[in-house]
Structure 1
Amino acid sequence: MNEYHWGRWFIVFRLSMQVGNCHNINLVTPEHVVPQVALAILTARDMGLHIPIIYNTSSFDSLESLELLDGLVDIYLPDFKVWKNSTSMRLLKVEDYTETAMKSVKAMHEQVGDLCFTSDGIAKKGVLLRHLVMPGKEDEGRAIMHWLAENVSRDLYVHIMEQYRPDAHVGKKKRTTKNASGQDQAQVRYAEINRAIRDDELSSVRDAAIAAGLWRFCEVNENNSMFHL
């Protein structure tokens, strides 16, 4: 086990205990250092850490790593990114994302259940699942919502997100090619997602979620009330 990583996580927990006024500790994409995180949480708890631990993840987790976190994580904050294997390969560069995410989200929910709050509106335990609607991929969002309602819980707290924007390699020029007339033809990378989403695409996913029986949604105007970050 890498002692540097363990020590780094423990320092974070220790500082949170000393500074105070923290509602939670949010661990962002820590899948690659789960053993060190688990050890640091156990040590910090022995020293008095009592605020909720949030595990913020892509859902590309192994069941073995999630088993190590059982009883240590209070709130899981997983993404469910895409549904089709072709999209997974194209955008995420993995072919088994959806199958892995299904197993991971179910395991997380089995550990902590549906999201619940304190009397003053601070999240204390459960799952909040996020789906970022992608341009032209609303059919995948609808499929994800249906699967969640049928296989996880209709009381699952869901954040259907609209803030996608082209970034990184999206929209950058590809190597110039020739068209049928022999002229240079400009192309860009990932042209199919080189735009913001439309209102009808977002509404389509939300409507599908409601039709499937989901009803607990994170709204933009909630002023971060689910975590009071």
Structure 2
Amino acid sequence: MLAEWYMKLQETVTPEHVVPQVVLSILHAKELGLKLPIIYNTSSFDSLVSIELLDGLVDIYLADFKVWNASTSKRLLKADDYATVAMESIKAMHAQVGDLCFTSDGIAKKGVLLRHLVMPGHEEEGKHIVRWLAENVSKDLYVHVMEQYHPRAHVGKERRGKIGRAEDVAAGTVEPGGEAAGEAAKKQVRYEDINRAVKMTEVESVRKVAEESGLWRFPESAEHGAYSS
């Protein structure tokens, strides 16, 4: 159960809103003798001010790039500027710590590890993301193209109400208002388009484009067990 809570926190929490407190706590811990590397696990929806505050304190940025299209991020993440913010944040993180490097015994010690969780039906967005990473960050970036998506939270739950919700209207699955919309809403589940596991063909298509774009550093299955989501 504790491990499951870790995964829920990883998917829903980013430390952006407490960065000043985090910075002060790290500085104090270092004064007390902390020598362990600091890992910053983030959705990449961070302000540049926050990233600047962390400069020199974070050893490894464990960063996501979730979706590409503004319409998708508005619907699924409730932030239509997610990709714009993430691009600037990821570039700033990489400018601080560079590409991921390891100790002689294979333990990550400094750099950026970038994760992209391939979503069902959204592999084209993943292709845009990996192309952008190769062209604008680094072809030596360590990238984890992830296949672990499965429905959770509100996905797949039966919806209630007589009028189609905003996410379904945006997706074109329900017309706004009216009796027909109400009947359709009663029969549908929330976020029906992603209410399935991702197909390996979808994941492989994103990985193929990543390789064609020049990215080459990918974790193998034995390596990424500790930070999958």
Letter matched to residue 124 of structure 1: K
The reply on whether 1:170 has 2:155 as its aligned counterpart is yes
Q: Structure 1: which 5+ runs fail to align?
A: 1-27
CA gap of 1:91–1:156, structure 2 versus 1, over 3 A, is same
Aligned to 2:187: 186
Matched residue, 2:166: none
**Over residues 175-218 of structure 1, what are the superposed CA-to-partner deviations in whole Å (9 max), with x where a residue is unaligned?**
366559x8996111101000001111010000010000000001
CA distance in 2, matches of 1:31, 1:176: 34
Letter in 2 for 1:199: M
Query: For residue 191 of structure 1, what is the amino acid of its counterpart?
Result: E
Q: 2:66 aligns with which of 81, 91, 105?
A: 81
- Residues 212/176 of structure 1: CA separation in 2 closer, same or farther (3 Å cut): same
**CA contact 1:169–1:189 (8 Å) conserved in 2:** yes
- The alpha-carbon distance between structure 1 residues 203 and 46, as it changes in their structure 2 partners (threshold 3 A), is same
Q: Contact 2:159/2:185 (CA < 8 Å) preserved in 1?
A: no
Alpha-carbon distance in 2 for matches of 1:184, 1:104: 38
Q: Distance in 2 between matches of 1:171 and 1:202?
A: 21
Q: Distance between the aligned counterparts of 1:149 and 1:184, measured in 2? A: 41
CA RMSD of aligned residues (A): 2.0
**Aligned partners of 2:160 and 2:185 also within 8 Å:** no
- Is the 2:134–2:213 contact (alpha carbons within 8 Å) kept by the matching residues of 1? yes
TM norm structure 1: 0.82
Mapped to 2, the partners of 1:143 and 1:179 lie a distance apart of 36
Q: Is the aligned partner of 1:140 residue 2:125?
A: yes
Range with greater deviation from structure 2 (45-54 or 140-149): 45-54
Q: 1:156 aligns with which of 141, 147, 153?
A: 141
Inter-partner Cα distance in structure 1 for 2:185 and 2:115: 41
2:114 aligns with: 129
How far 1:50 sits from its partner (Å)? 1.1
Q: Deviations over 1:27-56 (max 9, x none)?
A: x72211101110111111112111100000
Question: For each residue in 1:143-178, what CA deviation from the matched residue of structure 2 results, as whole angstroms up to 9, or x when unmatched?
Answer: 000000000000000111111111111111123665
Gaps of 5+ in 2: 1-12, 163-178
- TM-score, normalised by the number of residues in structure 2: 0.82
Instruction: Give the alignment of 1:185-224 within 5 angstroms.
Output: 186-222=187-223, 224=225
Match of 1:10 in 2: none
CA deviation string 1:74-127 (max 9, x = no partner): 000000000000000110011100000000000000000000011111110000
